[in-house]
Each structure stands twice: as structure tokens, then as C-alpha cells.
């Protein structure tokens, strides 16, 4: 990961290069004029942009709330589920409405769902790591050895998609997906035996710790074999006379991306002047983190029939590789001779006590769940909860989702700030859950969807440690830029990915039987004879009825243009309605 070592990350990377338009564009066969009209406003949204300081943001005073729009109870429930869950099933919407929109009780219920264990017999109770093993990741090769898949990615995507599409602990999965885009590891740089199993073990680690404390989470991430490999902490050793130096990769990203960021922040997440650390801090921190390696008696080898269990055990200290001299960084001093375990504890304790940690993390979590441009007072309230609870992630998540600025819907120009572009992964999962996507052979062969002619995203497939997109990305020459806003998800939104997503969804809207993937539209078929009701229900469950009247009318007219005299034609109507909603710019923007 040399690009990480060579840059302090002021400009955290350019947007992905645009691939050539897919030959699948010819698949835009349903009323092409309607489809392309709906997609046109998003074309050409790619472009560069640095990470400017966030623009001043309004608070929750009457001037802002003057734009508040009243929601019906079911719209309110669907909007909440759009932030806190992976879809808004009608049964869940109704349950929230009948319970008086008691979101606190819903969150309590979700927090109480246990993390999975390998001993669980039900598929939904298995860890992602164990699911891959169940699917045959340890299948014997021709010589009878059990490392047939030691160097590939067998089971990675299927286990993760299975988890996201079928799990009932939807809050945990939503948070884990968000954390996986903040504390990034990726299969794209996992050059160890069973690297894909290390990624799955990392997902399990996030599931285990996402409702614990921030400090516990950071330590688990630090000692993860996946992170140790991805950011090369694993095997980092003290300096020697031959010119060897401790690896600084993880130390830099621990500060820059995971905990405190580059500049000092006030409690509202706004720049307060001055940098948080310098090169010397990174160098000294890297010394404090030397000596950690896989928990194995010998290095893994392709030739020894290595089993993947080591990828889910925390790294262990090799004492003679640790730098035992004194270190000083971020105003902390670690005394000589304390040992690697104590140096790690003291370093992480000191970093997690830094005043930047709370607003830095709060702002990013709000971005992932609620809005691309968190208002300072929202960040400030979440920051206060973070500090008051010692980084209790349950309390922090609750503060993000239950804040008045998350729960009040805005109208007009005020709504621009309180919105975000839906990530392609979330669009796909939302559709898959609403149409009950299932695998007939239990292999969940959804695959890697990160190519630009598919979703442009796939879990744990980020192109770099900076995620698929940077939290401060601004599309150049756009209204977003002119208004001083950021729009992170637009970094992967360009001509190729817009058309690629549209074609991918069109191709798979009826399922993929050849891959053993089937869908069930039976819940929607009774509405096929009434296009207005069908589109309204989709508008509710997909967006909380956020679509403009003109968009609703456009989709309704297109659906009504199809005949519905047979069961096959009715199914076609439902699929058409889903597809046009899924590519509508009104839906793509989550409000």
C-alpha cells in the first residue's frame, strides 16, 4: 500500500477512472424515453475535488425548521427504517405505526439481538466466516489437501450478501456496513493465505464490537489479521542497524482516517484551526505498535495445508521485535521497557482520549446514516453523548438516529442539506429484501458487484483505504460545489456507473435463475391492476414518499401503458414499476 505511506492524504485520492460504457446499454428496452429522462439529471456527475472545510451549517433553530414538512405516520416510519435498517417492509412500517412510532423501543429490540456464533445451527446464526466454510471453502483439492481455495475469494461475496439480504438484525448490519466504510479493509489488497477468510473474520469482528465501546472497537480493529495485512502493521519490527524501520502505514491511517483526522475540530465537527499531528507523531506511534504478528507458530504457507483459523484470532506480540525504547507523540510519553502490550494500550488510550475523536467519528457516522452534510448542532449533540458515555456505541448510534435533525423531514431548499445519495449497495439490498431474493442452492452466487457496469460497489471491495468515496468529496462545477456542500457518494457516480447500475438492475429485476437466485413479487401483484396504488406503495417503502409529484406521475403513466390482462403482464407491470423507481433521481437521493 505504498500510496498510503507516501501521502499525508490532504487530497484523499481522485475519483475512480470512468470505464467505457457497457455494451449492455442496449438493454434499456423498457420505455427508453422514460428511463433516460429519469436518469438524465445524474449523467456527467463525475469529477474531481479536494476535501475543503465543511461550509457553515444551520442549526435546529426556527429559521431552519421553518422548512419542516409534515409526514404521515407511515411515511415517518419508512423514513426512519431507510436510515436505521436495510429496507422498509410494510409489516415493519405498520408495526411502528401501530406502536406509536416508538423508535426507541425498536432500537432497544435491535440492540438486544445477539451477535452470531459459529456454534449456532441456523444459517442466520452463523458468522460470515463459518458461512464460507459451510459452503465449501475447505473443499479438498485433487491431492486431497484442504486448501483448494486458499488463494482465492471463494465464499466472500456470498456470505456477505447473504448476511445483508436475509438477516433480521438489520440495525447491526446497517452499522457494520457503515463501519466497514470508515475502518476500511479490502479483499483487493489481502495477499495472504486465506485472505478472503480474513476479510470475513473482520466483518464478524465489526458485528461483535459495533454495539460495544469505541475504544474496544479500535483495539479489535488494530489487532485484526485483516487490518494487520491491509495496512501492513503485521510484521512491523523495531529499527535495526541494517536500515530497517517500523512500518508507518497503519499508524498514519489510525490517526488520519480512523480516530482524529488531519485538522483540529470543534465539537460541531467544524475546523477549529491547526493540524492534529505531524510526521514525527506518526513515526513515534509506529514504533509503539511494533512486534505484532499472526497468532501462528510458523508463517502461513501455501504448501503446508494452512487452515484459515489464524485469520480470526487477534494478532499476538513477538516481544523481541518490539521497540522498547521510550516514545513521545500527540503529547503522550510512553516510558522505556513497558513492553509491546502496554505500549499498545497506552497509545490507544491516549488517541481515543483526544478531543477530536468524538466529533470526527460522530460526523462520519451521521454522513453514513442520515445526511452528507451534518449540521454542527447535530454533531455537537452526538459528540456530547460520545464523551458522556465513554464512547458507548449504542448510545452514539441512538443519538445519531433520534436527534431532532434526523427525525424532522425538511422541504424545499432546506432539504438539500438533510439528504444524501443512496449508495448503490444499499439500493440493491433494499430491492433484494423487498422482493425476497433467495438462493435456491444456498450458495448465494451474487458475486462481486464492484465493477462500473454493475453496482460500482461491493462489501469489503473498496479500491483503497479511503473507501469508495471520501467523506469530503465535492463534485466540481456542480450546484453542490457552488453551495459549499459535500457529496461523498458522487465520487463513484459518473456516466459509466449510472448506466451500469441501470442496466444491471434491469437485467436482474426478474432474478437470476441461472445463478440460483429467485425473487418473489407476490406481495406486490395485487396492486398491479391499479398503477397509482402500486407506485404509491413503492414510493412509500423505497423513499418514504419523497418522490416529487411529477416523478410519481411519470412512473405511473409508464406502468399504466403496459397491459395487465394476464398474470404475466401483471408481473411485468410490477417489475416495470420497481425498475423505474430504482433509477429515479428522486429515489436515489435519500431525504
Dist. CA 551–CA 414, nearest whole Å: 20
Q: Where are the domains of the chain?
A: 2-84+414-590
What lies within 8 Å, CB to CB, of 99 at 6+ separation is: 105, 106
For helices 531-543 and 90-98, angle between their N-to-C axes, nearest 10 degrees: 70
Question: Interior CA angle at 466 toward 462 and 469, to 5°?
Answer: 75
3-state helix, strand, coil in the chain (%, to 5): 50, 5, 45
Q: Which three cell numbers stand for residue 475?
A: 463534485
The answer to whether 590 and 82 have CB atoms below 8 angstroms apart is: yes
Q: 370 φ, ψ to 5°?
A: -125, -60
HSE-CB for 211 with a 13 A CA cutoff: 18
Comparing 291-305, 346-360, 439-453, 576-590, the range with the smallest average pLDDT is 291-305
Question: Interior CA angle at 397 toward 393 and 403, to 5°?
Answer: 140
Task: Write out pLDDT tens, residues 21-35.
Answer: 333 333 333 433 333
**Closest listed residue to residue 193, CA positions, set 324, 89, 308:** 308
pLDDT of residue 122: 79
| Strand-pair partners of 410 | 68
pLDDT of residue 30: 43
Which residue's entry shows cell 487477534?
Answer: 314
pLDDT of residue 486: 92
Extract the runs of DSSP E, i.e. beta strands, from 255-383: 263-265, 271-275, 292-293, 316-317, 327-329, 332-334
pLDDT at 375 over 80: yes
The answer to whether 531 and 558 have CB atoms below 8 angstroms apart is: no
Dist. CA 152–CA 522, nearest whole Å: 38
Give the SS3 label for residue 563.
Answer: coil
CA dihedral 111, 113, 116, 121 (to 10 degrees): 180
The gap from C-alpha 368 to its chain's centroid, in whole angstroms, comes to 7
pLDDT at 211 over 70: yes
Which residue blocks in 475-548 are alpha helix, DSSP H? 479-482, 495-508, 531-543
Q: 182 φ, ψ to 5°?
A: -105, -50
Dist. CA 320–CA 360, nearest whole Å: 35
pLDDT of residue 391: 98
What lies within 8 Å, CB to CB, of 541 at 6+ separation is: 78, 87, 88, 89, 90, 93, 434
Dist. CA 551–CA 558, nearest whole Å: 11
pLDDT of residue 35: 39
CA Rg, the chain, in Å?
24
pLDDT of residue 5: 33
Q: Above pLDDT 70, what percent of the chain?
A: 85
The answer to whether 131 and 155 have CB atoms below 8 angstroms apart is: yes
C-alpha distance across the termini of the chain, in Å: 36
Task: Write out pLDDT tens, residues 54-65.
Answer: 444 445 544 445
Dist. CA 282–CA 528, nearest whole Å: 61
Q: Which three cell numbers stand for residue 421?
A: 445519495
pLDDT at 155 over 70: yes
15, 259, 468, 579 from 486: Cα distances, Å? 14, 20, 15, 28
Q: Which three cell numbers stand for residue 263?
A: 485538522
Query: What own/partner pairs with CB < 8 Å and gap ≥ 24 does 380-386 have?
Result: 380/267, 380/268, 380/269, 382/358, 383/267, 383/268, 383/269, 383/358, 383/359, 384/267, 386/214, 386/357, 386/358, 386/361, 386/362
pLDDT of residue 413: 62
Task: Write out pLDDT tens, residues 281-335.
Answer: 999 999 999 999 999 866 555 554 578 999 999 999 999 999 999 999 999 999 9
pLDDT at 493 over 50: yes
The model scores a pTM over 0.75: yes
The gap from C-alpha 474 to its chain's centroid, in whole angstroms, comes to 19
pLDDT of residue 295: 93
pLDDT at 422 over 60: yes
Mean pLDDT, rounded, for 532-541: 98
Q: Which residue has the higher pLDDT, 67 or 477?
A: 477
Q: 499 φ, ψ to 5°?
A: -70, -40
Q: Which residue has the higher pLDDT, 137 or 390?
A: 390
Q: Which helix (H) or strand (E) holds 361?
A: helix 357-369
pLDDT of residue 433: 98
Mean pLDDT, rounded, for 79-86: 97
The answer to whether 127 and 117 have CB atoms below 8 angstroms apart is: yes
Q: Which residue has the higher pLDDT, 70 or 254?
A: 254
Give the SS3 label for residue 316.
Answer: strand
130, 289, 337 from 315: Cα distances, Å? 20, 12, 21
pLDDT of residue 149: 87
Which residue blocks in 516-590 are alpha helix, DSSP H? 531-543, 549-560, 567-582, 585-588
For helices 279-288 and 340-352, angle between their N-to-C axes, nearest 10 degrees: 140
Amino acid at each position: 500500500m505504498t500510496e498510503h505511506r507516501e501521502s499525508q492524504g490532504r487530497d484523499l485520492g481522485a475519483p475512480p477512472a470512468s470505464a467505457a460504457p457497457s455494451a449492455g446499454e442496449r438493454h434499456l428496452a423498457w420505455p427508453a424515453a422514460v428511463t433516460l429522462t429519469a436518469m438524465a439529471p445524474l449523467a456527467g456527475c463525475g469529477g474531481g475535488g479536494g476535501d475543503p472545510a465543511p461550509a457553515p451549517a444551520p442549526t435546529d433553530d426556527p429559521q431552519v425548521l421553518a422548512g419542516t414538512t409534515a409526514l404521515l405516520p407511515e411515511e415517518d416510519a419508512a423514513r426512519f427504517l431507510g436510515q436505521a435498517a436495510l429496507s422498509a417492509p410494510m409489516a415493519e412500517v405498520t408495526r411502528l405505526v401501530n406502536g406509536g412510532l416508538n423508535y426507541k423501543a425498536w432500537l432497544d429490540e435491535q440492540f438486544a439481538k445477539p451477535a452470531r456464533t459459529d456454534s449456532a445451527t441456523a444459517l442466520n446464526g452463523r458468522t460470515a466466516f463459518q458461512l464460507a466454510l459451510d459452503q465449501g471453502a475447505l473443499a479438498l483439492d485433487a491431492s486431497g489437501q484442504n486448501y483448494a481455495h486458499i488463494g482465492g475469494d471463494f465464499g466472500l461475496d456470498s456470505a456477505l450478501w447473504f448476511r445483508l439480504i436475509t438477516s433480521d438484525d438489520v440495525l447491526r448490519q446497517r452499522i457494520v456496513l457503515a463501519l466497514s466504510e470508515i475502518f476500511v479493509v479490502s479483499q483487493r489488497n489481502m495477499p495472504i493465505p486465506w485472505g478472503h477468510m480474513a476479510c470475513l473474520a473482520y466483518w464478524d469482528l465489526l458485528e461483535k464490537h459495533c454495539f460495544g465501546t469505541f475504544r474496544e472497537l479500535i483495539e479489535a480493529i488494530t489487532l485484526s489479521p485483516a487490518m494487520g495485512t491491509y495496512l501492513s502493521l503485521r510484521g512491523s519490527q523495531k529499527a535495526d542497524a541494517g536500515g530497517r524501520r517500523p512500518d508507518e502505514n497503519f499508524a498514519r491511517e489510525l490517526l488520519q482516517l480512523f480516530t482524529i483526522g488531519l485538522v483540529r475540530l470543534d465539537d460541531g465537527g467544524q475546523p477549529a484551526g491547526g493540524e492534529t499531528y505531524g510526521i514525527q507523531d506518526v513515526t513515534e506511534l509506529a514504533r509503539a505498535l511494533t512486534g505484532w504478528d499472526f497468532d501462528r507458530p510458523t508463517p502461513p504457507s501455501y504448501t503446508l495445508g494452512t487452515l484459515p483459523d489464524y485469520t480470526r484470532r487477534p494478532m499476538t506480540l513477538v516481544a523481541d521485535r518490539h521497540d522498547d525504547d521510550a516514545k513521545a507523540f500527540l503529547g503522550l510519553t510512553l516510558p522505556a521497557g513497558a513492553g509491546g502490550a502496554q505500549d499498545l494500550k497506552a497509545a490507544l488510550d491516549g488517541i481515543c482520549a483526544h478531543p477530536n475523536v468524538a466529533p470526527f467519528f460522530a460526523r462520519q457516522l451521521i454522513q453514513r446514516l442520515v445526511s452528507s452534510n451534518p449540521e454542527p448542532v447535530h454533531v455537537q449533540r452526538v459528540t456530547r453523548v460520545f464523551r458522556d458515555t465513554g464512547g458507548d456505541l449504542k448510545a452514539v448510534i441512538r443519538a445519531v438516529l433520534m436527534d431532532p435533525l434526523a427525525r424532522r423531514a425538511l422541504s424545499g431548499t432546506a432539504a438539500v442539506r438533510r439528504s444524501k445519495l443512496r449508495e448503490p449497495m444499499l439500493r440493491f439490498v433494499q430491492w433484494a429484501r423487498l422482493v425476497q431474493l433467495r438462493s435456491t442452492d444456498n450458495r448465494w452466487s451474487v458475486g462481486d458487484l464492484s465493477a462500473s457496469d454493475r453496482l460500482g460497489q461491493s462489501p469489503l471491495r473498496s479500491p483503497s483505504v479511503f473507501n469508495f468515496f471520501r467523506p469530503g468529496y465535492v463534485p466540481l462545477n456542480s450546484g453542490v460545489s457552488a453551495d459549499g456542500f459535500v457529496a461523498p457518494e458522487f465520487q463513484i457516480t459518473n456516466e459509466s456507473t449510472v448506466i451500469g447500475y441501470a442496466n444491471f438492475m434491469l437485467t436482474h429485476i426478474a432474478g437470476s435463475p441461472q445463478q440460483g437466485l429467485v425473487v418473489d413479487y407476490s406481495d406486490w401483484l395485487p396492486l398491479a391492476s391499479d398503477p397509482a396504488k402500486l407506485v404509491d406503495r413503492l414510493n412509500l417503502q423505497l423513499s418514504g414518499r419523497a418522490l416529487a409529484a411529477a416523478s410519481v406521475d411519470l412512473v405511473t403513466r409508464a406502468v399504466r401503458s403496459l397491459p395487465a390482462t394476464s398474470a404475466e403482464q401483471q408481473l411485468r407491470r410490477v417489475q416495470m414499476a420497481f425498475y423505474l423507481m430504482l433509477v429515479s433521481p428522486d429515489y436515489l437521493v435519500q431525504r
